[in-house]
Amino acid sequence: MDRRLLGHFERSWERQDKARRILPERWLTDERPAAQQLNELFLDLIERARTRVYDERDAFAMQQLGAVDARD
């Protein structure tokens, strides 16, 4: 097992658990296929939004580091 991935995996599950708490309980327990598809779509959209925010934040931080290096 690659331990470098373990932290990422654990954080991923934590994010999914937090996202699931956002949905109303009746949505989570709805057994209809369409409802389950919507639940998965919702969770996927939340994860994509978080990933995009993190990526943009990291890109901005790298730009700032580059600007600092250019001044030195």
| Count of structural domains, the chain | 1
Average pLDDT over residues 43-68: 84
Average pLDDT over residues 39-46: 84
pTM given for the model: 0.53
Average pLDDT over residues 24-33: 82
Q: Are 23 and 39 in contact (CB under 8 A)?
A: yes
- How far is CA 11 from each of CA 47, 54, 64, 71, rounded to the nearest angstrom? 11, 13, 26, 36
DSSP 30: -
What is the pLDDT, as a whole number, of residue 9?
Answer: 74
Average pLDDT over residues 40-58: 86
Place of tokens 């296929």: 33
Higher pLDDT, 44 or 17: 44
Domain membership of residue 31 as a residue range: 3-71
Report the SS3 class of residue 31: coil
